[in-house]
Amino acid sequence: MNAISMNMVTLLYLVASVCFIQALKGLSSPSSARMGNTFGMAGMAIAAVTTVALILKLQAEFAAADSARSGGMGFSLVLLGVVVGGAIGAYAAKKVEMTKMPELVAAMHSLIGLAAVCIAVAAVSEPWAFNIAERGGALPFGNRLELFIGTFVGAVTFSGSVIAFGKLSGKYKFRLFQGAPVRFKGQHILNLVIAIAIIALGLVFCFSDAVEPAWTPFAIMAALSFVLGVLIIIPIGGADMPVVVSMLNSYSGWAAAGIGFSLNNSMLIIAGSLVGSSGAILSYIMCKAMNRSFFNVILGGFGGEATAASGAAQEQRPVKSGSAEDAAFILQNAESVIIVPGYGLAVARAQHSVKELVDKLTEHGVTVRYAIHPVAGRMPGHMNVLLAEAEVPYDQVAEMEDINGEFGQTDVVLVLGANDVVNPAAKDPKSPIAGMPILEAYKAKSIIVNKRSMASGYAGLDNDLFYMPNTMMVFGDAKKVIESMVKAVE
Nearest alpha carbon to residue 131 among 122, 18, 400: 122
Distance between CA atoms of residues 99 and 119, nearest Å: 32
Check 209, 395, 411, 420 and give the catalytic one: 420
Name residue 277's amino acid.
Answer: S
Nearest alpha carbon to residue 152 among 91, 187, 203, 207: 203
Cβ proximity of 324 and 414 under 8 Å:
no
Q: DSSP per residue over 37-66, as a string?
A: HHHHHHHHHHHHHHHHHHHHHHHHHHHHH-
Distance between CA atoms of residues 25 and 7, nearest Å: 27
Distance between CA atoms of residues 69 and 72, nearest Å: 8
Burial 36-75 (b: 16+ CB within 10 A, else e): beebbebbeebbeebbbbbbbbbbeebeeeeeeebbeeee
Q: What is the DSSP letter of 458?
A: T
**338 forms bridges with which residues in the sheet?**
369, 413
Distance between CA atoms of residues 126 and 141, nearest Å: 15
**371 forms bridges with which residues in the sheet?**
398
SS3 318: coil
Q: Is 420 a catalytic residue?
A: yes
Nearest alpha carbon to residue 219 among 126, 138, 148: 148
Cβ proximity of 436 and 286 under 8 Å:
no
Distance between CA atoms of residues 172 and 169, nearest Å: 7
Q: What is the DSSP letter of 321?
A: B
For CA atoms 265, 270, 273, 275, the dihedral sign is negative
Indicate which residues carry an active-site annotation: 420
